[in-house]
Structure 1
Amino acid sequence: MTDDAQLLREAEEAFNDAMISNDVARIRACITEDWMLVTPERGPISAEAVLAAISSGVLGHYTMAKQERLIRVGKDLAYVTGRGQNTGWFRSDPIEADEWITDIYRRIEGEWRCELTHLTPAYAPRPAG
């Protein structure tokens, strides 16, 4: 494992921990200024919109786990793709997700910051036949 890959894994863990803390300052420290969240329901959502929803209590997370499946590190750009599960709330309703997640990271002043998170629902395979 390269040092860069380990640093990226640590950045990914810090990002997950920040998200379940529901602390906007901690989340902001893990992402770029122009971070985007891409969801199947709404497409691209700005960092400002996501952080405003968390700050106001409209959105929050209790748990967030990812099993890394693929990691690629370039000079200043890297990505992690894996299977993730999370629980929380949206507009006071419970939420639970099982999804494929790709986080794209950019190295900024020696630190990995998430620039884009893309979510795709994970579906159970259909039986053959």
Structure 2
Amino acid sequence: MARNAPDPSTTSSSTEVVEAELLAVARNWAEAIVANDADRIAAFVTQDWVLVSDAGISPGQEFLDLVASGALTHSAMGVVGPTRVRVLGATAVLTARVTNTAHYRGQQFEADEWTTDVFVRRNGRWACELTHYTAARPHS
């Protein structure tokens, strides 16, 4: 083995540890969303967090403001199937199919979406920089 080459067993193990850490962050973030706690949700995202959907790019602060005002609440959120995690140094990408029940200004919405979250590691913690979601097609 070359002198500077990483030990494959160590690299694999450390990757698994980081992936497990990211999955825990994602679970805790989902719990914060269902708790409808804007401050707790904000702890999982960067100041520049944006959401991307078929409507375009929205500042994450708009989402946080809606939650803080009570205009947007979530009563359920779950992952359908496995989450794909890719770690690229201080950046990570998580992709999963997510279902949720939201209430916007009193009206209930059920969502089944593919989401991709881009996380960055800053000051020893992972925070989401970008969330992209699109409606999932029904299984045929």
TM-score (norm: length of structure 2):
0.84
Note the alpha carbon deviations across 1:87-121, whole angstroms, 9 max, x for none: 02011100110010111100011111111111110
The number of residue pairs the alignment matches comes to 125
In structure 2, the partner of 1:47 is 60
> Among residues 41, 50, 74, which one is paired with 1:27 in the alignment?
41
Maintained 8 Å contact 1:68/1:80 = no
- The question of 1:91 aligning with 2:102 is answered no
Structure 1's unaligned 5+ residue stretches are none
> Among residues 116, 122, 128, which one is paired with 1:114 in the alignment?
128
In structure 1, the partner of 2:4 is none
| Of 99-108 and 63-72, the range deviating more from structure 2 | 63-72
Note the alpha carbon deviations across 1:36-90, whole angstroms, 9 max, x for none: 11122x2111121111111111111001112433110111000110110000201
Q: Report the Cα distance in structure 2 between the residues aligned to 1:115 and 1:71, rounded to whole angstroms.
A: 15
After TM superposition, what 4+ stretches of structure 1 lie above 2 angstroms from structure 2?
A: none
Tell me how large the CA RMSD over aligned residues is. 1.3
Q: Report the Cα distance in structure 1 between the residues aligned to 2:77 and 2:128, rounded to whole angstroms.
A: 16
Q: Report the Cα distance in structure 2 between the residues aligned to 1:114 and 1:108, rounded to whole angstroms.
A: 10
- Comparing both chains, which one has the higher relative contact order based on Cα–Cα distances under 8 Å and sequence gaps of 6 or more? 1
